[in-house]
Amino acid sequence: MNLEKIIKETLLAIQKTGEWIQKEAKFFDLNEIVFKGKNDMVSYVDKDAEKKLVRDLKSILPEAGFITEEGTIDDNQKKFTWIVDPLDGTTNFIHGLPIYSISVGLLQGTDIVGGIVYELNKNELFYAWKGGGAFLNHNPIYVSPTKHLSNSLLATGFPYYQFNKLDNYLCIIKDLMIHSHGLRRLGSAATDLAYVACGRYEGFFEYNLNAWDIAAGILLVEEAGGNVTDFSGGNNALFGRELVAAGNIHDGLLKSINKYW
């Protein structure tokens, strides 16, 4: 399998869908939203974008199955599996906040072998394939060389449901606010991971994550020289619903998290 060829073909499909999303953004009406759960919103843009992506991805790799956020297709028992989030940062999109991405990962068995995050508003296309490195708009990218947590800018996300661990999480945030350059919360985990991969952030952590939020970003960080684990330091980040991604500060960030988790 030529992973580089597959990923580069996928870039074109994602850019095409991204152009459609940006056209819809100009006229989007808040009355178009539907609630999947508490604070969990979706719109026709998410669903139609997912259908467009699925159609194009099928033509690129017909033998692959899918795991998708909006469930427009149920077909995941395959050797290869696309993991698709058609609009990561839906709440931002709905409110007109210009930070949202398309995220597409490719699994071979249980291994992530391809990943693309397209941040639409900055027109930044992050991509990687297993063993091939990570790129931003065709230029190689690498995680930050910073070695100390105290010199780091970090990112996180806030849970919008399952608040039973919120107090622990707030303790982590307080600790890191004191012992780093600060924390940011963009509202798109895919974008956060892409920013770790290119060195804008030294690290990112969050819980209550889904595989479609992070599959592509995990590979971006790893191929850019970083490390991605769950909160225990294990390798269950993709489906374990918690993730720590960083370069040289990974161990220090993990230690800070586990003081309270």
Using an 8 Å Cβ cutoff, are 217 and 197 in contact? yes
- Report CA torsion sign: 26, 29, 35, 38: positive
166-193 burial, b at 16+ Cβ within 10 Å, e below that, comes to: eeebeebbeebeeebeebeebbbbbbbb
Using an 8 Å Cβ cutoff, are 201 and 182 in contact? no
What residue segments make up the domains of the chain, in order of their start? 3-140, 149-257
CATH H-level, domain 3-140: superfamily: Fructose-1,6-Bisphosphatase, subunit A, domain 1 (3.30.540.10)
Average pLDDT, 10 consecutive residues per value, the chain (261 residues) = 96 98 90 64 87 97 93 79 96 94 97 98 98 98 98 93 88 97 97 98 96 98 98 97 97 97 94
CATH 3.40.190.80 correct for 149-257:
yes
Using an 8 Å Cβ cutoff, are 126 and 218 in contact? no
Token code pair at residue 23: 């056209």
At 34 the pLDDT is 72
Using an 8 Å Cβ cutoff, are 146 and 254 in contact? no
At 161 the pLDDT is 73
Nearest one of 5, 243, 235, 208 to 106, comparing CA atoms: 5
User: In whole angstroms, how large is the CA radius of gyration of the chain?
Assistant: 17
Angle at 178 between CA 177 and CA 179, to 5 degrees: 95
Token code pair at residue 154: 């970090």
At 43 the pLDDT is 85
d(CA 217, CA 100): 14
Nearest one of 13, 185, 186, 153 to 84, comparing CA atoms: 13
Convert the pLDDT of each residue in 17-44 to its tens digit: 999 999 999 988 776 777 665 555 678 8
Convert the pLDDT of each residue in 80-115 to its tens digit: 999 999 999 999 999 999 999 999 999 999 999 999
64 Cβ contact partners less than 8 Å away, ≥ 6 residues apart: 57, 58, 78, 79, 80, 81, 82, 106
AA identity, residue 110: T
Please list the residues that pair with 119 across neighbouring strands.
101, 124
Using an 8 Å Cβ cutoff, are 3 and 114 in contact? yes
d(CA 171, CA 132): 38
AA identity, residue 213: D
Please list the residues that pair with 108 across neighbouring strands.
80, 111
